[in-house]
Amino acid sequence: MDFPVSKRMSSFRESVFAELAQIKNSKLSDGVPMIDLSIGSPDLPPPSFVTDALAKSSQNPDLYGYSLIGTGEFHSAVGDYYKRNYNVSLDPDSEVLLLMGSQDGLVHLPMVLCDPGDLILVPDPGYTAYAAGAGMAGAQMYSMPLKKENRFLPDLIEIPKEILLKTKLMILNFPGNPVPAMATEYFYTEAIRLAKKYNFVILHDYAYSELYYEQKPLSYLSVEGAMEVGLEMNSLSKSFNMAGCRVAYAAGNKQLINLLANFKSNLDYGVFLPIQAAASIALKDQSGFLTSLRDIYRRRRDVLAEGLNNIGWHVSKPEGSMFLWAEVPAPYSSKQFAIELINRANVVVTPGNAFGEWGEGYVRIALVQPKEILQQAVANIQKSGILKKVFA
């Protein structure tokens, strides 16, 4: 039977992730051990103060009803976190909103702000949820290329005036996924200036805020004028290894918070209360867990980046995020090189063009395996002879 399908489904294509997974699974079924560095899902457990709080709260039979909205405890914890880390003052009651993972907010905010045909400025390459949000809203995406010569920051001057006049939303992401770039205060200031001039909203995806190495990234909300025109969304998935808990927040302009809250009130019934309790404790934590987590990722970054450079694949060390953004050696395309790595080195990475046109020529490598496995990945790549062929 042929079922009718909505027109919006045409914007959701089967991703390259599915194709790579099929190739990987075929090799696994043949008994070939694979090293999967393609998906940005933390391999580390949450800290004990999170699991202990979750276990304790889950024993309370009174916490199994609908939460509907974020608890006062959770909203206050977000406010405390911003004051302590960024010297940003938030009203927990009107400038913070609980999300079911940051993807909840990233996909739904375009539906709040945009009508069919409106424009959304998105980084290219960018996280795939941005396209999903635009597709659900019926909006059109306008790509802001992330180029090496611009330190992978969008060139705001290149955006035509006629595009800015039709723009309802600009999405930014620093430290980024898939490109682990870091924004400057000047960049944010210029983006805010444009938003005020052309009357559009800025959404900053800050999911990798706690994964930084040499320099702490700027919160968008810490920049003058940011609260007037935008929101910042953050998740506990990467910072506290709570990906499966689906708990995050939006913070910023109270009118935008209210609009998104009203929209979400028609979609879901909130996050499990014990998860909110555990997340509140995580946001208040000052035990040094995050410092230790960064040390683990820093060592992984150094082992992988230095190892690849030593065998002839020249990659840069990222300042933040949990990825290497590695330029593909000629004459390969991104997808060709990713498939070669699977077939010849038993290593899975993600081709850059899976994240947009301007990702062609790169692959994203996730730091989601222990150092020893990353060292084995380097050894596999060297033994495969792929680099010897292209760099000879």
Q: What is the pLDDT of residues 298-308, one digit of tens each?
A: 999 999 999 99
- pLDDT(20) > 60: yes
Alpha helices in 311-364 (DSSP H): 334-340
Instruction: Read off the tokens for 81.
Output: 């976190």
How confident is the model at residue 285, as a pLDDT?
Answer: 95
Q: What is the rounded average pLDDT of the residues 227-245?
A: 97
CB count, 10 Å around CB of 382? 18
Q: How confident is the model at residue 365 (pLDDT cuts 50, 70, 90)?
A: very high
Q: How confident is the model at residue 392 (pLDDT cuts 50, 70, 90)?
A: very low
Provide, rounded to the nearest whole percent, the portion of the chain with pLDDT above 90: 89
- pLDDT(391) > 60: no
Interior angle at CA 169, CA 168 and CA 171, nearest 5:
165
How confident is the model at residue 21, as a pLDDT?
Answer: 80
Q: What is the rounded average pLDDT of the residues 337-348?
A: 95
Q: How confident is the model at residue 14 (pLDDT cuts 50, 70, 90)?
A: low
- State the Cα torsion 47-48-52-58 to the nearest 10°: 30
Instruction: Read off the tokens for 351.
Output: 């081709």
Going from the C-alpha of 388 to that of each of 16, 232, 335, the distances in angstroms are: 27, 44, 19
Q: What is the rounded average pLDDT of the residues 275-286?
A: 97
Up-side HSE of residue 175: CA atoms within 13 Å toward CB?
A: 21
- Main-chain phi, psi angles of 92, to 5 degrees: -60, -25
Instruction: Read off the tokens for 295.
Output: 């040390």
- pLDDT(390) > 60: no
- Buried b or exposed e, range 160-177, using 16+ CB within 10 angstroms: eeeebeebbbbbbbbbbb
Q: Rounded distance, CA 211 to CA 236, Å? A: 12
Alpha helices in the chain (DSSP H): 16-29, 48-58, 72-86, 102-113, 128-137, 161-164, 185-198, 226-229, 236-239, 254-264, 273-284, 289-310, 334-340, 371-384, 386-391
- Domains located in the chain, CATH noted: 7-45+289-391 (3.90.1150.10), 48-284 (3.40.640.10)
Q: What is the rounded average pLDDT of the residues 68-82?
A: 97
Q: What is the rounded average pLDDT of the residues 56-78?
A: 97
Give the rounded distance of the alpha carbon of 211 from its chain centre. 11
Q: What one-character-per-residue DSSP string does 42-93 give?
A: --SPPPHHHHHHHHHHHT-GGG-S---S--HHHHHHHHHHHHHHH-----TT
Instruction: Read off the tokens for 96.
Output: 């913070």
Average pLDDT, the chain: 95
Q: How confident is the model at residue 13 (pLDDT cuts 50, 70, 90)?
A: low
Instruction: Read off the tokens for 357.
Output: 């046109």
Written as one letter, the residue type at 207 is A
Instruction: Read off the tokens for 202.
Output: 């800025």
